[in-house]
Amino acid sequence: MAGAKIIQQDLFMQFKFIEVELDDADAAACVTSFEDTGLSIRGNYAMLIHRVDWNFRLNEARYETDFALRAALTVDPTVTVQQYMDDIGVIDVMEFNVDYEVTTSGGLLDHVVKPFTRSYVPPVIICAPKLGIVVSGDGDKADWRSLEIKCRVGYTTIPIDEKMYLEIAETWRTL
């Protein structure tokens, strides 16, 4: 067809990895890590988030302490405090509570299934230059300091025009 416009669109999911460590001096301190998305008003693309996987490594030293962990995936790189699902720019929140009792068989955490996965159907659309995670513990537990938290975001991109970019960015308040 003469004059037909070819639109490039992802056929398969891509992944963006974001990771952070809890503070090595205070597990309750809020820590953040942000990655560039490559999206901009002149780029003419939006990101469709299909799934979010959260993972962290438990080692045996950490099995002996009750602990709660909260992590949020957000498009707001200015955050300095823990985020919740109703905060502006938050896409996903993972909460993990360990109410542990020591047993002679070696513990209760053997049944924990990781990663924690959330799928979005339909996908969540974003137009933000940054995507990151905000993480903190419920208190300073020495054996949880420096815990690595990893987030894998499964996404595709779609072409959009400038007007649509502005509308989506306004929705997430990322202008």
User: Per-domain residue ranges for the chain?
Assistant: 14-172
- Pick from 113, 148, 121: nearest CA to 133: 148
14-172 CATH? 2.60.120
Written as one letter, the residue type at 125 is I
pLDDT at 1 over 60: no
The values of phi and psi at residue 88, to 5°, are -60, 135
Q: Which residue has the higher pLDDT, 61 or 142?
A: 142
Produce one character per residue of 65-78: b if its CB has 16 or more CB atoms within 10 Å, e if not: eebebbbbbbbbbe
- 136 strand-pairing partners: 70
Q: Which residue has the higher pLDDT, 150 or 141?
A: 150
Residue 110 banded pLDDT, cuts 50, 70, 90: very low
User: First-to-last CA distance in the chain?
Assistant: 38
Q: Which pLDDT score is estimated for 96? A: 82
Which element (helix H / strand E) includes 33? strand 31-36
Q: Which pLDDT score is estimated for 111? A: 46
Q: Which pLDDT score is estimated for 107? A: 53
